[in-house]
Amino acid sequence: MCGIVGLFLKDSRLEPQLGQLLSDMLITMTDRGPDSAGLAIYGSATEGKAKVTIQSAKPEIDFADLERDLAEAGVPARVAVKSTHAVVAIAAARLADVRAVLAAIRPDVRIMGAGDSVEIYKEVGLPKDVVARFDVRSMGGSHGIGHTRMATESAVTTLGAHPFSTGSDQCLVHNGSLSNHNNLRRELIREGIAFETQNDTEVAAAYLTAEMAKGKDLGQALTGALDDLDGFFTFVVGTKSGFGVVRDPIACKPAVMAETDRYVAFGSEYRALVNLPDIESARIWEPEPATVYFWDHQKAA
């Protein structure tokens, strides 16, 4: 049992409140997953710039002098530290370079996510503590997703927490269990995708990344998942400008959605949505089994 939430803002006037709204939604789902928690926030992008969110179990060592060491390695960057995580801002053209350099000069650092706009924060602990640790309430943005985890098949670790990100500005949270993830992992490794964990959710994220790399949009990739992924699942997915939801054909995992002219919201339970603006006038529904829902600021995910 896990709790997942998502919020896609249609009204840009709500963007300064994204972190606050999403944090309240996530904390409400604490009893569905007290082991660990995480959020992905899609903020504004800067042309020609990219950012990489990194995590370290020893931030006082790994983040010390990181700007200097990156510059000496030929990758100028600005590093903003938030507890066990840091956001490394670089020129977009150097995104592949910074991954290689970090692996060389900070081998214990792990990349949580990268892209033009996404920042991903996740840690072991209660959602309220994770939200406070990374000052999520102060963050603005256009959309975001979150997850509270109750581990059932793997250890409680930072890397095992959601969201999982396997592509630029892409991430996924999941409630359920996949039965064919080991076979899919082997196929995706043959296609060149690297994995950090044995978690089935990371396989789902990588599957969508691989499908979108073939030219599919988010809706098409999610439709393909209904045929190619076995098990019980509810996915909420973020891309640079898009937000998608899909449930497996049996749809035994709880889910509810709300839509107004200002936002689209998802929660594992309705109580995650009750404090959203104008929720009393929202269209409320349970997403149908084997049905893809997605929205996009650019009209194509």
CA distance 264 to 4: 14
Q: What is the per-residue pLDDT for 33?
A: 87
Q: What is the pTM of this model?
A: 0.94
Q: What pLDDT score was predicted for residue 153?
A: 63
Q: Give 22-26 contacts, CB < 8 A, sequence gap 24+.
A: 22/136, 22/144, 22/146, 23/131, 23/136, 23/137, 24/275, 25/146, 25/265, 25/267, 25/272, 25/273, 25/275, 25/276, 26/127, 26/131, 26/146, 26/147, 26/148, 26/272
- Nearest CA among 180, 188, 183 for reference residue 231: 180
For 301, the token pair is: 């995910």
Provide the 3-class DSSP secondary structure of residue 91.
strand
Q: Which domains are delineated in the chain?
A: 1-42+125-294 (3.60.20.10), 45-115 (3.30.70.120)
pLDDT of residue 26: 98
pLDDT per residue of the chain (301 residues) written in tens, 0 to 9: 799 999 999 999 999 999 999 999 999 999 998 899 999 999 988 899 999 999 999 999 999 999 999 999 999 999 999 999 999 999 999 998 999 999 999 999 999 999 999 999 999 999 999 999 999 999 999 999 999 987 666 677 888 899 999 999 999 999 999 999 999 999 999 998 989 888 999 999 999 999 999 999 999 999 999 999 999 999 999 999 999 999 999 999 999 999 999 999 999 999 999 999 999 999 999 999 999 999 998 874 4
Contact 141, 43 (CB under 8 A): yes
Please identify every residue annotated as catalytic: 2
Confidence (pLDDT) at 300: 44
